[in-house]
Amino acid sequence: MMQRDRASALLGMTVEKDEPGEAVVSMLVREDMLNGHAITHGGFVFTLADTAFAIACNEDERVTVAAGADIVFVKSTTAGQRLTAHARRRTVTGRAGVYDITVTDDTGDVVAEVRGRSLTTDRRPAE
């Protein structure tokens, strides 16, 4: 899946851990990722968390997608900082799953907390 993920590649994301139900992905915040307050745009923080979530919940040949997610922004960051998203499966029942994703900065401080809900489909991965 990540080999075809052009968005994550464009943003310079690095997959540090990819195991069933768990993933760690990092990204260096660039100047062009800042909003009008000179802090990291929340959309980029969420995109990093969403990428870790996607890796954690796609464990087999079935396509699993986000059914929804909620984010709480805790701390702002700026250019030059490395953000890391750690996604962990909480539970999967049938086709539905719940995942927690914590985004931290390069000092280990929590930047955002995300709760993601997944849905496993009958689709097969794109080729």
For residue 126, pLDDT beyond 80: no
pLDDT tens, 6-27?
899 999 999 999 999 999 999 9
Rounded Cα distance between 33 and 65, Å, is 25
Each domain of the chain, given as residue ranges in start order, spans 2-120
pLDDT digits (tens, 9 = 90+) for 24-56: 999 999 999 999 999 999 999 999 999 999 999
> What pTM was estimated for this model as a whole?
0.93
Report whether CATH 3.10.129.10 matches the domain 2-120.
Answer: yes
Residue 124 pLDDT: 72
Residue 17: what pLDDT? 97
